[in-house]
Amino acid sequence: MAPLLIVHGLRSPDSPMTTDHVLINCEQHGEAYATFVCAHLAAEPVQEWFCDYPTEDNTWPDSWCAQCNLEFEKHGRWNEENEDKLSIKLLCHNCYVDARSQSLDRLHGDALEAWNAFSRECCSTIQKRQEAFLAEYEISKHKRWDWDQDTGELVFSNDGVPAVVASIEFVGSISTISDTWLWSWANFSLDENVRTLIKRVRDFGEARSYPRLTTPKWLATEVDGWEMTTIAAYILEARGVYRTSDDNGFTFLALTDVRRA
């Protein structure tokens, strides 16, 4: 392998690798996909990560730390003049996700208090909005719910008769198998039309350096899922929130508009 040729999610034409995921063998996780990070992140993941956002073809983009980013910013890209200063480490994709998940703990002092205060504000606002939504549409009295990605709607019905229809945005999901949260903007199994608005939440987090809003996947519980969904609903000015479940975990939705059928 030639890891120095794989930086910033781009493949050098001289690299033997392609955009296809490359399998490696990890001592901890067994067969897994190859990813690349700078040596500083590999040694100390609890810091800010710099990388492209994931795409369907590049799920785990090459990542580097703030120190290495100074070299990147000198030229606005990686090239022959600065990439030789970048020490690259190979990680399997599971180790990559675990390491990046640890970066959520990088907030301290005033930065951490600002995040906590913002989360509390979101919770207080959305709780009142949610109570009004549940009362007005009597959601608990309806027998069935169904969501449809094609229409972007969540329908509450009784004996096959629709009663309430909500326009939805997928916020994210909690896997009870891996105990992780995955933002919908990084979940490429979802239709684009139900995960477009959520990018505004990611951009909000980027502007304020809130790692929980910008890290695609991280170790989490159902409580974390509710917190992220509440924050997303606040930013998107949603009418309410909803959670559905299956054998693998929970899916969280923001209800951007609600009407009686």
User: Residue 75 to residues 31, 59, 69, 70, 248: CA-CA distances in angstroms?
Assistant: 36, 25, 10, 9, 45
Write out pLDDT tens, residues 77-91. Answer: 888 888 878 899 999
The pLDDT of residue 81: 80
Using CA atoms, how far apart are residues 228 and 248, in angstroms rounded to an integer?
19
Tens-digit pLDDT profile for the chain (261 aa)? 223 223 333 333 333 233 457 999 999 999 999 999 999 999 999 999 999 999 999 999 999 999 999 989 988 888 888 887 889 999 999 999 999 999 999 999 999 999 999 999 999 999 999 999 999 999 999 999 999 999 999 999 999 999 999 999 999 999 999 999 999 999 999 999 999 999 999 999 999 999 999 999 999 999 999 999 999 999 999 999 999 999 999 999 999 999 999
* The predicted structure's pLDDT at residue 193: 95
Q: Position of tokens 């987090």?
A: 205
CA atoms within 13 A on the CB side of 73: 8
Distance CA 200, CA 69 (A): 24
**Where in the chain does DSSP place strands (E)?**
6-7, 10-11, 23-26, 30-38, 88-92, 144-148, 153-158, 161-175, 180-183, 217-219, 240-246, 249-260
